[in-house]
Chain A
Amino acid sequence: MLSTPRTTVRIEPQRMLQSIHASADWVGLRVVKTTETLRGVRDQKPKANGSQVRYGAMVEVLVDGQIGYGATVDLSTKGLQAAADAAILQAHAAAAWGLYPFTEQIRPVVKGNQITAPERALDSLSPKEINDLLIRICYTLKLSDQIIQTSATAIATQRETWFASSNGSDAYQSSASVVMDYEATAKEGLVTQRRGANGWFARAYQGGWEWLLTPQLWEEVQRTGEQAIELLTAPECPSDTRTLVLAPDQMMLQLHESVGHPLELDRILGDERNYAGGSFVQPKDFGHLTYGSPLMNVTFDPTVQGELASYGSDDTGVTARREHLVKDGVLQRGLGSVESQLRSGLPGVANARACSWNRPPIDRMANINLEPGETSFKDMISKIEKGVFMQANSSWSIDDQRYKFQFGCEYAQLIENGEITQTVRNPNYRSTTSDFWQSLSQVGDRSTWEMFGTPVCGKGEPNQIIWVGHASPVCAFDNIEVFGGGE
């Protein structure tokens, strides 16, 4: 067995911090080490096998109210000192032009270890066993010659973060995560349909192989191949207005794009306007805005076991805890770090997160979840005269204010007179954020609730890709514009 590569680097953050000489009001050191092992198979043949090891340090200094940072891959004393010098240079150069005068308050003291150990360790499967698993998935997906491509990928990541600072922080966090993705592409003539496992890389969890090697795995893989073929002859999704029912593997995208991002305080404060965009939400809206129907309850919850973005404290040392973002349809608080809270005067959460050692913390989603309601799936469908049930995201696009969106799914079934009937292909829908969430008419109970995640949320300047989790029950939305594909 050899799933995780050996590395020789020794990380001793307190010693490293003490070796740094810098004349500053505050000095912090964040060291990050990640080991990501990726194995991929296409059409039962290996496509990629390997590991990426990354480690490095970010030195932050506070000078005259301005943070400057220097990040380096060189963890030697000389390398860290060069990073500290660079941070000092940047802080001095920026101090006269700073956006907001910060104090040490933005880096509270945090101490202790948080180690999340998986049930089935990442190295409990050998490279051969993982390849065998992925090959078997491809084999199972290949149900006929109509399946022209199969693929399966597994990614296992071990992430460690050390944080030490001149005001006494000394913290360590370690977690493992796993991601699995598989898909079948079916083709007949010029009709091509793709069906995957809950959408692109959505099966993403904090923990070990126990999250992926479930008793249902092979049944789900078989169904994925069958549905890819089924879609080839299914009619296009109708183009009209009807009740839209979304499975949790599409709700995750809906939450992410139209609740998570618009509530990020750095967007509202304007930091993101040049890249990801701003937000239709205004500072005055917190505590007042009716974001959705009274059935809408959304939480920021980095404490859910197994959800991808769970942690003990954020990358500035703030202790993480569960908070309601939207309660009974009313907007409560934003996704803003201590820095954003000071700048805006608004309530926030512990969400200053950096994708790695080489990027500074910014406002981020962690786990953003829609809380379950009380309606069973059967009861929900029985109440719908004309609707469509969509599953698994395939396309996503929303404007820079997070308002006008259009999303597509892999698979859908019509709902007619209280029953699920015909399968349709290329299902899409479009709406505006406010109209959409106001139309939330039914929220599924705990039995319909599922948890997913995405390892690839992009944002920030310089750009950062980070991992977030989303959980939701099945939900129904009234009077939504839906449509199919084609030219």
Chain B
Amino acid sequence: MIFSLSTAAVASQSRTLATERLELWEQTFYRLSDALQGECRAGEHFTLSLVAEDSQFTRMNRARVRQSGQVVDGAVKLTWIANQRTCYRDLPFTGNWAEDWAAVKPALNDLRQEIDQLPEDPFIVLPQRVAGSKGKSRAVYRGNLLDRDRAIAELLGPVQGLDFVGIYAAGLSVRAQSDSAGQRHWFATESFTLDYSLFDLKGQAVKGTFADRTWDSVAYKANVARAQQQLQLMDRPVKAVSKGQYRTYLAPAAMSELILMMSWSCTSEAAIRQGGSPMEQLRVGKRQLSPKFTLRENFSRGLVPQFNSDSEMAPDNLPLIEQGKIVNTTINGRTAQEYDVISNGASDSEDLRAAEVDAGDLAEADILKTLDTGLYLSNLHYLNWSDRPAGRITGMTRYACFWVEQGEIIAPINDLRFDDTLFNFWGDNLIALTQQQELVPAVDTYEHRDLGGTWTPGALIEDFTYTL
């Protein structure tokens, strides 16, 4: 068959298909769940998780297309529990009932054979409905995305003449959960993220992100225009800054990189108990953070699912560090069983899913004036613990980073390596947080498109330490 439809007609069809696909996925997922329920014998339990997407990925370099394609992907994870033992199968999910059941049914037989060979697991979380909980939720956020046939022109038209590089990812994402206790949770969203950089002829660059559920061409052009303005500042001669300690402003995107480190065995209750987290120092009172610093999980913005893989619902708002003191940790059901604490619906890895740092009192207009002389960092790059128990983090400056003197941007800097502890930069050395928070969207696409992002203000830090 010759490809005979016009690309516009295909694009229109694809929107209809997205609606049909969403309905089909939901029907098939719950039908699988019902069928598994029917298979359950006395003493057997299960959970079933779904991750699925229908996404466009367009990769761009020098305001041209490097690679472009579409991915329709889905996977269900069936976790079987019996006789105080558990194991799982994670399988492709097409949305076609016959095909999916043909994969899941033999997997169930395999699980039943395997499970008796395994040791007892004392910390199994049995599916159960929490008293007072409905055990069901359904959130579907439809968007108004660019048609797939015109997305490339819409993206690249306004940036011709610029050295524009990045990734546009857009489409339908689904997360769902069900279990043998009859709990059912469905989260679907149509959204896009555009993660890009603009480079000048000297190789200096600025970073931009643009994400939403509805594409807005005017807002996109304004976003690029702001990045262009910032890029003009990079045209000044680069100042080579020596290693040492400098007063530093961390813009929200830079702050978000540091906050993401809190997901890496930091706020996790299990990590604290098992010697992997610097937060132990807060818990035992050896250190404390600045009273200006409050970190919370805030699910009320609706960007990510509130349920976890045990169908537990996280609270709308969970303060973790409040005015410098640790008040909660992220706890999932398994950790709760092991340490006799109460779960707050955290993920399997007890990472942050809806991180938010409270705003402060520094007006945007006063950032440079209050910084006075020091470094203005737009972004950070490639962070890692250099001494995790001590809370020490190293990483690089990246993109639009400037030397500031007497409240005026003087010059872009050569990239610097920092190495400092969170007890310093969010502790005694935290001068102020800005009045405005920004959403720094999650743009990672490992295995599937991430959802949500980090809400954070900018931060002004005294004596941030640079080492190379």
Chains A and B bind each other: yes
User: Which residues from chain A sit less than 8 Å from chain B, CB to CB?
Assistant: 2, 5-9, 21-24, 45-46, 48-56, 58, 66-74, 76, 79, 82-83, 85-94, 96-99, 126-128, 131, 135, 148-149, 185, 187, 190-192, 194, 269-271, 273-275, 277-278, 358-360, 362, 395-401, 404, 406, 408, 426, 428, 430, 432, 458, 461-465, 485-487
In the docked arrangement, what's the CA distance between A137 and B445, Å? 35
Tell me if B149 and A274 are in contact (CB < 8 A).
Answer: no
Tell me if A93 and B106 are in contact (CB < 8 A).
Answer: no
Across the interface, which residues of B come within 8 angstroms of A92, CB to CB? Answer: 7, 149
Beyond A185-B275, A462-B167, 18 extra complex contacts between A and B, CB < 8 Å: A2-B117, A5-B89, A52-B90, A53-B92, A53-B103, A68-B69, A71-B69, A72-B71, A83-B72, A90-B70, A90-B148, A99-B62, A99-B65, A148-B275, A185-B276, A270-B199, A273-B165, A406-B419
In the docked arrangement, what's the CA distance between A68 and B390, Å? 48
In the docked arrangement, what's the CA distance between A395 and B395, Å? 11
Task: Pick the residue among B7, B91, B102, B120 that contacts A89 (CB under 8 A).
Answer: B7
In the docked arrangement, what's the CA distance between A360 and B71, Å? 10
Across the interface, which residues of B come within 8 angstroms of A53, CB to CB? Answer: 89-92, 103
In the docked arrangement, what's the CA distance between A140 and B208, Å? 51
In the assembled complex, the CB of B125 is this many whole angstroms from the nearest CB of chain A, namely 13
Interface centre among A24, A99, A464, by most B CB within 10 Å?
A99
Could you pull out 13 A-B pairs where Cβ atoms are within 8 angstroms? A2-B117, A6-B110, A51-B89, A52-B89, A67-B67, A71-B72, A93-B149, A97-B65, A99-B61, A190-B284, A397-B384, A461-B166, A462-B71
Task: Pick the residue among B57, B90, B445 that contacts A51 (CB under 8 A).
Answer: B90
Tell me if A458 and B203 are in contact (CB < 8 A).
Answer: no
Given known A-B contacts A190-B280, A428-B386, A487-B390, A400 and B2 have beta carbons under 8 A apart: no
In the assembled complex, the CB of B113 is this many whole angstroms from the nearest CB of chain A, namely 5
Decide if the interface of chain A is mainly helix, strand, loop or mixed.
mixed
In the docked arrangement, what's the CA distance between A399 and B394, Å? 11
Q: Which residue of B lies closest to A72 (CB)?
A: B72
Across the interface, which residues of A come within 8 angstroms of B169, CB to CB? Answer: 462
Task: Pick the residue among A93, A397, A430 that contacts B382 (CB under 8 A).
Answer: A397
Across the interface, which residues of A come within 8 angstroms of B381, CB to CB? Answer: 277, 399-400
The 10 closest A-B pairs by CB, nearest first: A69-B69, A50-B88, A485-B387, A21-B1, A461-B167, A462-B445, A52-B90, A99-B64, A86-B70, A128-B117
Given known A-B contacts A56-B73, A82-B72, A131-B119, A274 and B195 have beta carbons under 8 A apart: yes
Given known A-B contacts A73-B73, A85-B3, A277-B381, A400 and B398 have beta carbons under 8 A apart: yes
In the docked arrangement, what's the CA distance between A426 and B94, Å? 48
Among listed B133-141, B151-159, B431-439, interface-contacting one? B151-159
In the docked arrangement, what's the CA distance between A148 and B276, Å? 10
In the docked arrangement, what's the CA distance between A462 and B446, Å? 7
Interface centre among A9, A192, A360, A432, by most B CB within 10 Å?
A192
In the assembled complex, the CB of A464 is this many whole angstroms from the nearest CB of chain B, namely 7
Given known A-B contacts A5-B89, A406-B419, A270 and B165 have beta carbons under 8 A apart: yes
Does chain A have a CB within 8 A of B317? Answer: no
Tell me if A45 and B275 are in contact (CB < 8 A).
Answer: no
Tell me if A190 and B274 are in contact (CB < 8 A).
Answer: no
In the assembled complex, the CB of B415 is this many whole angstroms from the nearest CB of chain A, namely 5
Across the interface, which residues of A come within 8 angstroms of B62, CB to CB? Answer: 99, 270
In the assembled complex, the CB of A308 is this many whole angstroms from the nearest CB of chain B, namely 19
Interface centre among A8, A9, A23, A50, by most B CB within 10 Å?
A50
Tell me if B119 and A46 are in contact (CB < 8 A).
Answer: yes
In the assembled complex, the CB of A438 is this many whole angstroms from the nearest CB of chain B, namely 17
Tell me if B74 and A94 are in contact (CB < 8 A).
Answer: no
In the assembled complex, the CB of B312 is this many whole angstroms from the nearest CB of chain A, namely 19
Tell me if B110 and A5 are in contact (CB < 8 A).
Answer: yes
Tell me if B73 and A50 are in contact (CB < 8 A).
Answer: no
Contact with A along B378-401 (1 / 0, CB 8 A): 000111111101111011101000
Does chain A have a CB within 8 A of B161? Answer: no
Does chain A have a CB within 8 A of B239? Answer: no
Given known A-B contacts A74-B72, A92-B149, A397-B394, A69 and B2 have beta carbons under 8 A apart: no
In the docked arrangement, what's the CA distance between A66 and B64, Å? 11
In the docked arrangement, what's the CA distance between A465 and B119, Å? 31
Q: Which residue of A lies closest to B415 (CB)?
A: A399
Which B203-259 residues have C-beta < 8 A from chain A?
203, 205, 207
In the assembled complex, the CB of B179 is this many whole angstroms from the nearest CB of chain A, namely 16
In the assembled complex, the CB of A158 is this many whole angstroms from the nearest CB of chain B, namely 15
Given known A-B contacts A93-B7, A190-B281, A485 and B386 have beta carbons under 8 A apart: yes
In the docked arrangement, what's the CA distance between A403 and B41, Å? 59
In the docked arrangement, what's the CA distance between A87 and B276, Å? 46
Tell me if A49 and B86 are in contact (CB < 8 A).
Answer: yes
Tell me if A85 and B69 are in contact (CB < 8 A).
Answer: no
Given known A-B contacts A2-B113, A49-B88, A397-B395, A190 and B389 have beta carbons under 8 A apart: yes
Across the interface, which residues of A come within 8 angstroms of B166, CB to CB? Answer: 274, 461
Across the interface, which residues of A come within 8 angstroms of B294, CB to CB? Answer: none
Task: Pick the residue among A46, A97, A461 that contacts B121 (CB under 8 A).
Answer: A46
Across the interface, which residues of B come within 8 angstroms of A5, CB to CB? Answer: 89, 106-107, 110
Tell me if A400 and B396 are in contact (CB < 8 A).
Answer: yes
Tell me if B10 and A89 are in contact (CB < 8 A).
Answer: yes
Interface centre among B66, B205, B385, B417, by most A CB within 10 Å?
B66
Does chain A have a CB within 8 A of B122? Answer: yes
Tell me if A273 and B199 are in contact (CB < 8 A).
Answer: yes
Contact with A along B42-67 (1 / 0, CB 8 A): 00000000000000111101101111
Does chain A have a CB within 8 A of B300? Answer: no
Tell me if B167 and A275 are in contact (CB < 8 A).
Answer: yes
In the assembled complex, the CB of B129 is this many whole angstroms from the nearest CB of chain A, namely 25
In the assembled complex, the CB of A132 is this many whole angstroms from the nearest CB of chain B, namely 8
In the assembled complex, the CB of B43 is this many whole angstroms from the nearest CB of chain A, namely 18
Q: Which residue of B lies closest to A456 (CB)?
A: B446
Across the interface, which residues of B come within 8 angstroms of A93, CB to CB? Answer: 7, 68, 148-153
Across the interface, which residues of B come within 8 angstroms of A91, CB to CB? Answer: 68
Does chain A have a CB within 8 A of B464? Answer: no
Across the interface, which residues of A come within 8 angstroms of B14, CB to CB? Answer: 86, 89
Q: Which residue of A lies closest to B150 (CB)?
A: A93
In the assembled complex, the CB of A95 is this many whole angstroms from the nearest CB of chain B, namely 9
In the docked arrangement, what's the CA distance between A79 and B100, Å? 14
